[in-house]
Amino acid sequence: MEQRPPKPASLPRTPSKEPCKSSVSTPFLLEDIKLPLILRQTSYQDIKSDLTRCMIRSGRLCLVHSQRWAAELLRTMDKIKLNGDFNGGVLSEAEQVEAEMASSNPAYFCIHNAMRRYQYAEAVAYAQGEEGAFARLPAMRFFYFYARFLHGQSLWIQNCEAPLDFAAVTEDDVKYSMKLKEEIKQEHLLNSLDPLMRYLYGVILRQLGLHALAQDQLILAIAEEPFMWCYWFELADCVMSTKDLTDVLSRVRPHWMRDFFLDRAYSALNMTEEAYGTCKYLRKTLFSSTAYVMSQLAKVCYNRREFADAAKLMEKVRIAEPARLDDMDFYSTVLDVRGDKVRLAKLARDLHDIDPFAPETNVAIANYCRIRDQRDKTIEHLTMAIRACPDAPLPWLLLGHEYTELKNFVRATASYQKVVELNPRDYKAWYGLGQVCENDKKYPQAAVYFYRSAQNGRFDSRVWNALGDVYDKMEQAEDACRAYWQAYQVGDKDDGAIFKLGKIYERDEKKDKMVQAYERYIEVCEETLNSNSNGKGKDDPNRPGFAYSDVSHAYLVVADAYYNNQRYTEARALALKAALYSPTDTDVKSFCESILEPGDPGFDERSVLEKTFQSEYTCMEQSLDEPT
């Protein structure tokens, strides 16, 4: 919605009632949703006409976010000089009536002014007091229901007794929305709804958890007025799965705003590669330098763990719009992950000068306090951000992380549950709940949460690693192996999932599979060394780190298997590499002494050994982390 994000219907507070998955099969690949992106095939005049209509009409109806989005894109287009005069396009009958109303009607200005001042009860009173033909205009009817909806939301926030504590949504919390739903339903039975009322009806249905019905209403609204960005925006929030997205795309008409809808829907569904491709496409259009497009691409890069690229894009946004607050909380999180104290301090100071009470400012200050290990101040500023905007998921998520690090698992659970309530597709919140249960040794519940996280964030190897660890602790070796293999398939870099897989096979005496797993682990290690020697140094936060003992063990096991298979030359080479990583390990030393021939570098000849492999392991000390 526009003025204030509505509160969605809740999930059960304790999802542990959901049956635990006894096994984790390799998940189905995301459905191929390959629709042609059509923005670059649309004429300049058509795009500008749609954006102008969206900007003007959204402004008249107090749909401020939709108005700002259109205005941002138009600013970029105005910098492009093309031949020919621009025609603003043919206005619909509703737009013509609204334009006439906005030019001279005092009641309209009273309602509009009250909405801008967040005095929704006053706006309802003005709209209710009108009579005659003017009161029956679609815009006035929309104002009446829209102001009532926002008034109900503001009352819910004001009456919330403990805004920082999680509580499941009750019928009393959504009583205003339920009442509006029934009234609009009666309107729908008596008169066919216009696009604006379908939009509002869809928003209310989404808040009540009726996503399929909300999709129907929003698709009908888009069919009549595809140039209204707010319709597409809300439709993306109603898409809860790839199946939903496929169904929606088969029903909406081709329009250039569909490309922006796809970008938002892909990101919401954690379809990272699809979102990345769409954002890269949008960067090659008229809107390449738009703050919105650059911010969206930065978020996708962050999910791909390309933190340097995300930081560069957000820095471009800062340079283009120094006073911008939108997405600066996300930028501060990127800087926190990168450990960039200098830029984070400057960002927090600049945002404080712009608006010290904005939630984005408090999140930025909280991230700066966190990087300085000032936990109390971090929690204080995150709390201030939540009080300013209770329905923003990011402060709740960061607060959950803080409480987890402080071992306050009760508060951490409440924070993560709030994120899941606000956005059930947020895999990081499910992951956080799994971590809390794992720390409390509640492994079955942790497995449920990690599995939900894996369903929503299949691309993140850390989720599959965590799921494999829990199954391993539950002595479900087969399920653990599947989870570790999936982590390796999606590009595990940090946690050595394939090494853990080899350890399980070694423990279960499955020698052939054990050797294959360790061979793959050795390939990962050597690829990492090669990439680091090509300039990817220790300052990269995305740099994988391996324990010397794990690498040495993998070399030793594979060397022993090769030696038993009479592959003596390869076995000796791997044994020497094992000795390089663990020069004091007695098992490595005895194995090397048993297979080395006269003339081979001896185990005690450390300098000779280092010289032999100097070219291959120049960056070993910079790229591998000793286990603590």
- Identify how many contiguous H helices and E strands the chain contains and give both numbers: 32, 0
Report how far apart, in Å, the C-alpha atoms of 554 and of each of 304, 522, 525, 532, 571 are.
28, 7, 10, 20, 12
Q: What is the radius of gyration, based on Cα positions, of the chain?
A: 29
The torsion region of residue 590 among left (phi > 0), alpha (psi -120 to 50) and beta comes to: alpha
Q: Cβ(400)–Cβ(419) under 8 Å?
A: yes
The whole-number average pLDDT for the span 435-451 is 91
Split at pLDDT 50, 70, 90, the class of 96 is confident
Q: Is the dihedral of CA 196, 200, 201, 203 positive or negative?
A: positive
Note the pLDDT tens digit of each residue in 296-327. 999 999 998 899 999 999 999 999 999 999 99
Split at pLDDT 50, 70, 90, the class of 84 is very low
Which residue ranges make up each domain of the chain?
493-623
3-state secondary structure 20-57: CCCCCCCCCCCCCCCCCCCHHHCCHHHHHHHHHHHHHH
CB atoms within 10 A of CB 531: 15
Note the pLDDT tens digit of each residue in 373-401. 899 999 999 999 998 888 889 999 999 99
- AA identity, residue 25: S
CB atoms within 10 A of CB 251: 12
**In angstroms, rounded to a whole number, what is the distance separating the alpha carbons of residues 212 and 444?**
32
Q: Cβ(364)–Cβ(332) under 8 Å?
A: yes
Residue ranges of the alpha helices (H) in 355-442? 359-371, 375-388, 393-405, 409-422, 427-439
The torsion region of residue 305 among left (phi > 0), alpha (psi -120 to 50) and beta comes to: left
**In angstroms, rounded to a whole number, what is the distance separating the alpha carbons of residues 197 and 147?**
13
- Give pairs for 207-213: CB < 8 Å, separation 24+: 207/6, 207/7, 207/8, 207/9, 207/174, 207/177, 208/9, 208/174, 208/177, 208/178, 208/181, 209/8, 209/9, 211/238, 211/239, 211/240, 211/244, 212/244
pLDDT of residue 201: 92
Is residue 607 over pLDDT 60? no
Q: Cβ(74)–Cβ(55) under 8 Å?
A: yes
**In angstroms, rounded to a whole number, what is the distance separating the alpha carbons of residues 349 and 329?**
13
Is residue 6 over pLDDT 90? no
Q: What are 226's two structure tokens? A: 């595809």
**In angstroms, rounded to a whole number, what is the distance separating the alpha carbons of residues 84 and 89?**
14
Of 298 and 93, the one with more pLDDT: 298
**In angstroms, rounded to a whole number, what is the distance separating the alpha carbons of residues 534 and 619?**
9
**CA-closest candidate to residue 300, choices 324, 329, 323, 330:** 330
Q: Give the range with max mean pLDDT: 114-123, 183-192, 233-242.
A: 233-242
**In angstroms, rounded to a whole number, what is the distance separating the alpha carbons of residues 474 and 468?**
10
pTM (2 decimals)? 0.80
Report how far apart, in Å, the C-alpha atoms of 410 and of each of 382, 391, 400, 419, 451 are.
17, 20, 10, 15, 21
Is residue 499 over pLDDT 80? yes
pLDDT of residue 112: 82
**In angstroms, rounded to a whole number, what is the distance separating the alpha carbons of residues 496 and 577?**
19
Q: Roughly how many angstroms between the first and final C-alpha of the chain, as a whole number?
A: 49
Task: Provide, for the chain, the percentages of residues in helix, strand and coil under a 3-state DSSP scheme, each rounded to the nearest 5.
Answer: 70, 0, 30
Is residue 410 over pLDDT 70? yes
**In angstroms, rounded to a whole number, what is the distance separating the alpha carbons of residues 107 and 80?**
39
Note the pLDDT tens digit of each residue in 422-437. 888 899 999 999 999 9
Q: What are 62's two structure tokens? A: 């107090």
Is residue 187 over pLDDT 90? no
Q: How many residues does the chain have?
A: 628
pLDDT of residue 212: 92
The whole-number average pLDDT for the span 173-202 is 81
pLDDT of residue 160: 60
Q: Is the dihedral of CA 116, 121, 124, 129 positive or negative?
A: negative
Is residue 214 over pLDDT 70? yes
pLDDT > 90 in the chain, percent: 38
Q: Which residues, 6+ apart, have CB-to-CB distance to 467 below 8 Å?
A: 24, 434, 447, 450, 451, 453, 454, 483
The whole-number average pLDDT for the span 97-109 is 73
| Residue 199 CA, distance from chain mean position | 25
Q: Which fold has domain 493-623?
A: 1.25.40
Q: Give the range with max mean pLDDT: 101-110, 458-467, 573-582.
A: 458-467
* DSSP code at position 357: T
| Average pLDDT of the chain to the nearest whole number | 80
Split at pLDDT 50, 70, 90, the class of 75 is confident
Is residue 113 over pLDDT 70? yes
pLDDT of residue 351: 94
Split at pLDDT 50, 70, 90, the class of 602 is very low
Of 246 and 178, the one with more pLDDT: 246
* Dihedral over alpha carbons 325, 327, 330, 332 (to 10 degrees): -30
Of 33 and 279, the one with more pLDDT: 279
The whole-number average pLDDT for the span 36-41 is 76
* Positions of E strands within 471-543: none
Phi, psi of 301 (to 5 degrees): -60, -40
Q: Which residues, 6+ apart, have CB-to-CB distance to 429 below 8 Å?
A: 393, 397, 400, 416, 417, 419, 420, 423
Please, how many CA atoms are within 13 Å of residue 124, restricted to the half-sphere of its CB? 12
- Give pairs for 534-540: CB < 8 Å, separation 24+: 537/619, 537/622, 537/623, 538/622, 538/623, 540/308
**CA-closest candidate to residue 445, choices 10, 8, 21, 6:** 21
pLDDT of residue 628: 36
**CA-closest candidate to residue 543, choices 553, 554, 529, 555:** 529
Lowest mean pLDDT among 86-90, 97-101, 538-542, 586-590: 538-542
pLDDT > 70 in the chain, percent: 77
CB atoms within 10 A of CB 59: 17
**In angstroms, rounded to a whole number, what is the distance separating the alpha carbons of residues 75 and 474?**
57
Note the pLDDT tens digit of each residue in 325-355. 999 999 999 999 999 999 999 999 999 999 9
**In angstroms, rounded to a whole number, what is the distance separating the alpha carbons of residues 485 and 480?**
9
Give the DSSP per-residue string, 218-284: HHHHHHH-TT-HHHHHHHHHH--SHHHHHHHHTTSPP-THHHHHHHHHHHHTT-HHHHHHHHHHHTT
pLDDT of residue 318: 93
* Dihedral over alpha carbons 318, 323, 329, 332 (to 10 degrees): 40
